[in-house]
Amino acid sequence: MMNAVAAATPAGIVRRGLRAPGRWSLRVGLAGIFAVGALASFAPLVAPYDPTALGLSAALTPPNGAHWFGTDQLGRDIFTRVLYAGRIDLQIGTIGVIIPLIMGVVVGLFAGYYAGWPDALLGRVIDVVTAFPFLVLVLAIVAMLGPGLRNFYIAISLVSWVAYARIVRGESLSVRGRGYILAAKSLGYSDARIMFRHLLPNVIVPALVFGMSDFVLDILAGASLGFFGLGVQPPTAEWGVMIAEGRNFIITAPWVVIFPGVAIIVTSFFVSLVGDSVSDIVRRVRA
C-alpha cells in the first residue's frame, strides 16, 4: 500500500513515465515542446531578421526562399515574428500557470487540511468564481484595469487560481485521513510541516496535470485578447496580435494569418500530448 501511495508523487510519476513502454505520445510531445521552446528562447539567434524591421518595398510577399513564411503588410518577416511572438506566448502560458498554481495549491492545501469552515468558505468562493465563464471574467477584469500584458496576468491569476484550489482541496480532503498523515500528526509535527512536506507531494500531481491543459487555455486566452487589442499591444509580436493585423489582408495574403495560427495549434498540440500522456500514467498509477 505504501508503494501505491508513494508512487502518486511527482517523482513516482516521472519514474513510471520513463519506464512505460511505447509511450510515443509522451516522447513526441516532450520533443515538440522542447523544439518550440528552444526556437522561441533562441529567437534572436535563430531568426534571420529583426522582428520590427520594416521593408515596405517587400510588403505582403508570399513565402519564398528569403522569407520562409512571407512578409506582412509592413514588410516584416513573418517567420521572425512568429518566433519572437513565441517568446511572449510561451511566457503567457508559463506565468499564466505558475502564479495561479501556487496561489491555488496553497489555498487548497489549507482548506483541505483543516476542513471545517475554511473548506466551506473556499467551496463557496469556488462556486461563485466558476459561475463566470473563464474568458468573460478575464475580459471584464482586463476591461477595468486596462489592456496590456501585466493586467492580463493579474486577471488570469484572479480567475485561474480557483481551479487549482478546487483540485488540491479535493485531493487533500480525501487524503488527510490516511495513515501517514495521522502518523505525522501523532509525532507532533507542525501543521505547516505536515501540509507542505507530507500532504503536498501526494496531492499536487492532479494539479500539475491540470496545469498542462491550463497552459493551452492561457495561450488561447492571451492570443484572443491580443486579437481584440486587449492584451499585448502592437507592434510587439504576439500570435493573436499578428492574426488581427493580418486579418484585413487575408484574401490576398493569407499567410500572414495562417502561420501564427499554426504556431498556436502546434504548440498547444504538443503540450496537450504531454498532458494527456501524463494524465494516463497518473490514472494507471492510482488504479
Partner 1 sequence: MIRYIAGRLLLILPVLFGVSIVAFMLIRLIPGNPAVAILGERATPELIARVENQLGLNLPFWQQYLHFLGNARHGDFGASFYYGQDAWTLTFERIPITLTLIAYAATIGLVIAVPFATLAAVRRETVVDHAIRLAFTATIGIPSFWLGIVLALLLSVKVRLFALGGAGAGGFDTLWHLTLPALTIALHISPILVRALRSSLIEVMDSDYVTTGLAMGLRPVTLLVSYLLRNGLTPFISVLGLNVGWLIGGTIIIEQVFGIPGVGSLLITSILTRDYSIVQFVTLVLAFLVILVNLLTDLAYAVLDPRVSFQ
**Which cell numbers hold the place of 29?**
510531445
What span, in angstroms and rounded, lies between the C-alpha atoms of 251 and 245? 13
Q: Would you count residue 142 as binding partner 1 (CB under 8 A)?
A: yes
Q: Is 243 in the site for partner 1 (CB under 8 A)?
A: yes
Stretch that binds partner 1, among 79-87, 172-180, 184-192, 256-264 (CB under 8 A): 256-264
Q: Is the Cβ of residue 107 or residue 199 nearer to partner 1 in the bound state?
A: 107
Sign of the torsion angle spanned by Cα atoms 245, 247, 253, 258: positive
**With binding defined as CB under 8 A, does residue 128 bind partner 1?**
yes
Q: In whole angstroms, what is the distance from residue 264 CA to residue 246 CA? A: 15
d(CA 268, CA 217): 9
Do the Cβ atoms of 137 and 143 come closer than 8 Å? no
**Part in contact with partner 1 (CB under 8 A); list of ranges 13-21, 41-49, 170-178, 269-277:** 269-277
In contact, 119 and 111? CB cutoff 8 Å? yes
Q: Which stretch binds partner 1 (CB under 8 A): 77-85, 111-119, 180-188, 219-227?
A: 219-227
Total interface residues for partner 1 by CB under 8 A: 50
286 contributes a contact to partner 1 by CB under 8 A = no
Residue 65: C-alpha distances to residues 68, 75, 96, 186 (Å): 6, 15, 36, 70
Given the rule CB under 8 A, which residues bind partner 1? Answer: 124-125, 127-137, 139-146, 213, 216, 220, 223-224, 227-230, 240, 243, 247, 250-251, 254, 257-258, 260-261, 264-269, 271-273, 276
